[in-house]
Amino acid sequence: MTMLGKKIATREAYGDALVELGKENPNVVVLDADLSASTRTSKFAAQFPERFFQMGIAEQDMMGTAAGLAAAGKIPFASTFAMFATGRAYDQVRNSIGYPGLNVKIGATHAGVTVGEDGATHQALEDIALMRAIPGMTVIVPADYVEAVQAVKAAAAHVGPVYLRFTRGGVPVVFGDDYQFQLGKAALLRDGGDATIIACGVMVGAALEAAEALAGEGLSIRVLNMGTIKPLDGEAVIKAARETGAVVTAEEHSIIGGLGSAVAEVLGENCPVPMKRVGVPDVFGQSGGAGELLEHYGLTAANVAQRVREVVGRKA
């Protein structure tokens, strides 16, 4: 039964997918840093209490424990808010998980400005950049509930460290039951020849909305969902640049070090074309409603559409 159009937080998908994995694989274990109600790992804890570890407000200890469990053959999902997973515990993620290449999955919820009223201290806008820079770390940013469930399962099947980024608030479901997430592969959501929008997370819906609006102006816009930020699907990026001649990226993250930077790196070395990055500029977040903050930072379909008009105008 399709959920298209419904608004569901991707953290809900995280909790649901963990329960499914728990039933399928006895080696899956879950750790949380005193936030299981918020990260939705409480769903796993209720069904598999012997495989759930409540670590308390001790994120560094949680990452070290997850590393030990992985070394012993388990598949641990270490869960907390994105700000704490990548900020407070960065040293442990880098040296205890990344350096030895251990099979730890980091489930990070409450990412980006859509955390809302909790403000700048809790709005991780640099987490993708931090995780991208760790050698061997896979980085996944699902766009909706459907993709998030599949991404969690793909992370469990993948051998090596994975960072998964989830939302606090509801995001529209953009994928039908036939959608298939592929680790490391972009998904073509809409074809077009005038420009390409490459989006991830909550901005995928905005990208589709922008493309539809631009179609009314006679512009044919390709839309790629880049669910995996690392390893990036460079082949899809280069193909889009060559065939459409202009690229706009859209993400709920700093324009420094995230999807926009990853795409720019590929284009700069292989196929330079007019490009714009839609994301949060070089500033911290602030307290406000999720919708208000998306509007304030230009994380909207209207702004994405305007950036597309600009890059199309530069093609000549």
Domains of the chain: residue spans and CATH? 7-172 (3.40.50.970), 187-314 (3.40.50.920)
For the chain, what is the HEC assignment? CCCCCCEECHHHHHHHHHHHHHHHCCCEEEEECCCHHHHCCHHHHHHCHHHEEECCCCHHHHHHHHHHHHHCCCEEEEEEEHHHHHHHCHHHHHHHHHCCCCCCEEEEECECHHHHHHCHHHCECCHHHHHHCCCCCEEECCCCHHHHHHHHHHHHHCCCCEEEECCCCCEECCCCCCCCCCCCCCEEEECCCCEEEEECCCHHHHHHHHHHHHHCCCCCEEEEECCEEECCCHHHHHHHHHHHCCEEEEEEEECCCCHHHHHHHHHHHHCCCCEEEEEECCCCCCCCCHHHHHHHCCCCHHHHHHHHHHHHHHCC
Per-residue model confidence as pLDDT tens for the chain (316 residues): 578 879 999 999 999 999 999 999 999 999 999 999 999 999 999 999 999 999 999 999 999 999 999 999 999 999 999 999 999 999 999 999 999 999 999 999 999 999 999 999 999 999 999 999 999 999 999 999 999 999 999 999 999 999 999 999 999 999 998 999 999 999 999 999 999 999 999 999 999 999 999 999 999 999 999 999 999 999 999 999 999 999 999 999 999 999 999 999 999 999 999 999 999 999 999 999 999 999 999 999 999 999 999 999 998 7
221-225 and 195-199 strand pairing: parallel
pTM: 0.97
User: CB–CB of 164/124 below 8 Å?
Assistant: no
Question: What are the catalytic residues?
Answer: 59
